[in-house]
Amino acid sequence: MAASGQAVGDAAQEICSLDRILEALKLLLSPGGSGSSSLQVTKHDVLLATLKSNLSALEDKFLKDPQWKKLKLLRDQIADKAEWPQNSIDVTWSFTSQTLLLLLCLKETMIRLAANFNPGKPNTRTPEVAPALSPDALSISQQKTVQFILQFVVTLGICPYLMPGVGVPLRYRTEFGAVVQDVVCLDAAPDATRRLYTSCRALLNVAEHTSLGSLIFCHHFGDIAAGLCQLGFCPTKSKLLTPAEEVLTEEERTLSRGALRDMLDQVYQPLAVRELLILQGGPPQSCTDVKTQLRCRAPAWLRRLCGQLLSERLMRPNGVQAVVRGILEGAGAGAAGGSDAEVMAADWKKCDLIAKILASCPQQSLSPESYYKDICPQVLDLFHFQDKLTARQFQRVATTTFITLSRERPQLAAKYLLQPVLAPLHRCLNTAEIPESYRVPGTILVTEEELCRCIEDVFKVYVIGNEPLTVLMDSLLPVLGVLFLLYCFTKQSVSHIRSLCQEILLWILGKLERKKAIASLKGFAGLDKAVPSLHSLCQFRVATQGGIMITIKEAISDEDEDEALYQKVSSEQDQVEHLGDLLSLCQECGLSGDFFIFCLKELTHVATENEAELKTKPFSSKSLLELEQHQTLLVEGQEQKLLVLQLMVVLCERMSEQIFTNITQVVDFVAATLQRACASLAHQAESTVESQTLSMSMGLVAVILGGAVQLKSSDFAVLKQLLPLLEKVSNTYPDPVIQELAVDLRITISTHGAFATEAVSMAAQSTLNKKDSEGKIEEPQQSSHERHTDVAHSHLEQQQSHGIAPQPGLQSDAPVTPQGVNEPSTTTNQKSGSITTEQLQEVLLSAYDPQIPTRAAALRTLSCWIEQREAKALEMQEKLLKALLTYLTCRDQQHQVDVKNHCASKEHSIIYGADTSVFLSLALMLGSKPNMSCSIFQISCIHCS
């Protein structure tokens, strides 16, 4: 069949023209309507009558019109070479057969016309004149005629003979298709399979001409592919049939399989992928496509076949792009994007589905490693598309593929995805071995394009992907030093990758474990030389196109040593400044606070340095080499200390007051300050600045304990870390005010805030006054007792406003004051009769609490109520008297124990000391009850003892 038409006589070739063939094709379409649109609404009998009328009209033209004689000769000669039955009682097949013969005549005529075409030499005087058009070119009107006739051929010659589930059913396409499905007579000769084979082979023969092939494959590729799949791969019961009974021979089935693979290799690969997905039963590509309607599920053999063919498409060169385009085209990507392209661009589900397909190794692959070795470079290419809409979707596919592969196969992802992406940065690490051929000064180690592409890809994978997988974090960690230096270099001038570098650094620092993040920051600052950084031979340079490249340093002459030293010192200083800028953006996550505390601890080592370490031993005890090494270590140590000081200066300038984000950081800050103070005392290095810093840090703790922060039991567990340091300060620091404050802070922390001395309140108020420069706190107008009262009262109100109602009887690790219990001065503002019976009962219960601070606070509240002549309290004088006497008795017994053990500390005297208000309350109560006068002697004895 492929050679049909080649033996046509010269006479037929000379006379036959394209116009005559196209006129014959129009004749097959014209009766019954001017086009296919009118035929779509016909019924069965009208359709059959129209097809018969078309064939009769064509035969009349061939027999009666002498101008059609040569076309008839050409058609008959092609029909003689044809191997299919052309006549049948089924008029639909007769019509299809005659149409296929005319299409073959058209193809042969177009080939002959193109072969005999001689355009001649162009006229040099009129170079603007268009070249002569080839005679085999079809006009727009002629192309429409061919498209109409091809639609009839596919509708009548292929679709009715497809098995259920193979391709899109004809009755679900158009109303005309449903009519055709009913009028086709499958029982008439030739067999349905033979008809399908004939139509597919004839159309493939016509498609050998380029322009005709484009018309066929653009609109009917899926139907032809479905027919070839059924012809070549559908299981048959051939073992039970004799050769005479078989419809198709094994050779014809083999030819069908080969034709399918050839067709798949020749067409636009995204089109092949899309049609194979539809045949496989995948999701439809467009909601307006007629193929989206309900259909039978594809048979298992077809699904397996399409899966194999899709895997073959994927593993071909540029197969990844073909798969991506095949699924996304028509949904906003590529040239097929429609009016709803922007809407579909936001549909990331398809992109994620493609990523899962790419990350899954097909069964046809020899091994997973060989598959990913071929696929991963194509995945990387998806990052580098210029079209914005296409790039947006392709980048999503590539990024999701990165994440999926890194999660499922981390080793292969690191080898074939991450290493190629980060290769430009690894090339210039100080841990990398630069080949001798690259060590020539001025040699470009990383080009501008490579570096830019690397940074952009890293940003897309890590920041946009935003999946802190272990393999991703570990792969980026070694090149962070180079990234930071690149970020510092971009700050010197305008660069479009500056923001990318900054976002990458902020992302990785925020996702890393805190210890690793601090270690990376130490490397950025130059405090840790073990952190990988830029190779000593490499340097960043501005490229000719305005980008950045990495080159080998030029040799430094003796005259330029001073300039090089200045550049080095200036560069290191700039790096510290840029690190401060970077850390100012890391305050919310707490990294800036942790690094500030780290630097503060390092500053403690600087403050406690022993000057004797700087003195070297006599020259006689060391060799020159040892002496040089020792001097080098001393110089490096001094550089480290100066660098720490510079870091502290920059951090103090850059960081805001929100640098600490939790209680733990505040406690660590205070602990570092206390440690430095203790270290200074050990070296007799106390100074005014040290004393002021210590006062402020301790005042900060006082503010926290004074109610500025709602503390929990876990917060006090953190605060207890300060107890040993506070004790050491109270015992060794010469300033008595700081000593007293340290003792009072220990008491407050130990009692979980149940007891706070006046010194703690004054320290908190003093710290707040220093912060409030506008004088909102009128400290000079208040006495120390009033100031303590107001702070305690505001703290209670703050707790009540937050709905905090501590219950009596808590364990010793979290003693609190019960609701309604407060210092006497706190409740003086309460109006008479404002307490209830429930409040009184609760306070009475707290008066017997085993925790002494809770019990003392309750008794003070009872005393205050007695002084105010609260009605509810006066009604229960007997119980109140008993509670007060019990308190005094317990206090006296504890006092005797303390005296016996020589333990008369300030803490014990404050907690267990007799409260004057208690005695006043007792006097008021006993004075109002004459029958209680006998108890005065008992009270006096207890007090005097």
Residue 601: count of CB within 10 angstroms of its CB: 15
Helix (H) or strand (E) holding 706: none
Helix, strand, or coil here: 216? helix
Model confidence at 286, in pLDDT bands (50, 70, 90)?
very low
Note the pLDDT of residue 817. 35
Give the pLDDT confidence of 333-389 residue by residue, as tens digits.
444 444 454 545 456 778 888 888 888 888 778 888 899 999 999 999 999 888 777
Q: Poorest-confidence range of 286-290, 602-606, 680-684, 802-806?
A: 802-806
Q: What is the pLDDT of residue 879?
A: 76
Averaged pLDDT of the chain: 76
Q: Is pLDDT larger for residue 211 or for residue 921?
A: 211
Nearest by Cα to 228 from 197, 249, 198: 197
HEC string of 265-327?
HHCCHHHHHHHHHHHHCCCCCCCCCHHHCCCCCCCHHHHHHHHHHHHHHHHCCCHHHHHHHHH
Select, from the ranges 59-63, 167-171, 763-767, 840-844, the one with the highest average predicted confidence (pLDDT).
59-63
Note the pLDDT of residue 224: 94
From CA 359, how far away is CA 497, in angstroms rounded?
Answer: 30
pLDDT reading at 676 higher than 60: yes
Instruction: Tell me how far the alpha carbon of residue 220 is from its chain's centroid.
Output: 41
The answer to whether 312 and 305 have CB atoms below 8 angstroms apart is: no
Token duo for residue 331? 């949904």
Q: How far is residue 816 from each of residues 375, 812, 880, 928, measured CA to CA in Å? A: 65, 9, 22, 33
Mean pLDDT for 246-267 is 90
Q: What number of helices (H) and strands (E) belong to the chain?
A: 42, 3
Question: Rounded to whole angstroms, how far apart are CA atoms 624 and 622?
Answer: 6
The pLDDT score that the predictor gives to residue 643 is 85
Please check the confidence at residue 478 and state whether its pLDDT lies above 90.
Answer: yes
The pLDDT, as a whole number, for residue 769 is 66
How many alpha carbons lie under 13 Å from residue 655 in its C-beta half-sphere? 24
Q: Is the pLDDT of residue 199 over 60?
A: yes
* Angle between the N-to-C axes of helices 140-157 and 210-233, in degrees from 0 to 180, rounded to the nearest 10: 10
- What is the pLDDT, as a whole number, of residue 123? 67
Q: Which residues pair with 541 in a beta bridge?
A: 549
Angular region, 833: left φ>0, alpha ψ -120 to 50, beta rest: left
In this prediction, residue 410 carries a pLDDT of 92
- Average pLDDT of span 130-151: 86
Q: Given pLDDT bands bounded at 50, 70 and 90, which one contains residue 236?
A: confident
Residue keyed to tokens 């008993």 = 882
Does pTM top 0.75 for this prediction?
Answer: no
Report pLDDT for 811. 31
Q: With 70 as the cut, is the pLDDT of residue 809 above it? A: no
pLDDT at 898: 47
The predicted model gives 125-137 an average pLDDT of 74
The pLDDT score that the predictor gives to residue 113 is 86
Identify which of 414-428, 560-574, 829-843 has the greatest average pLDDT. Answer: 414-428
Mean of pLDDT values over 765-777: 54
pLDDT at 32 over 50: yes
| Three-state DSSP class for residue 273 | helix
State residue 915's pLDDT score.
Answer: 45
Quick: pLDDT tens for 843-894.
Answer: 888 777 776 667 767 777 777 777 777 777 777 777 777 776 676 666 555 5
d(CA 678, CA 726): 10
Give the largest CA-CA distance in the chain. Answer: 152
**pLDDT band at residue 762 under the 50/70/90 scheme:** confident
The reported pLDDT for the residue numbered 930 is 39
Please say whether the dihedral angle defined by the alpha carbons of residues 620, 623, 628 and 632, taken in this order, is positive or negative. negative
Selected residue with higher pLDDT from 607 and 259: 259
Share of the chain above pLDDT 90, in %: 22
Please say whether the beta carbons of 418 and 472 come within 8 A. Answer: yes
Over range 72-83, report the average pLDDT: 86
More confident residue, 261 or 338: 261
Instruction: State yes or no: pLDDT of 411 exceeds 90.
Output: yes
The tens digit of pLDDT for each residue in 735-753 reads 888 888 888 888 888 888 7
Cα(270)–Cα(247) distance, rounded to whole angstroms?
34
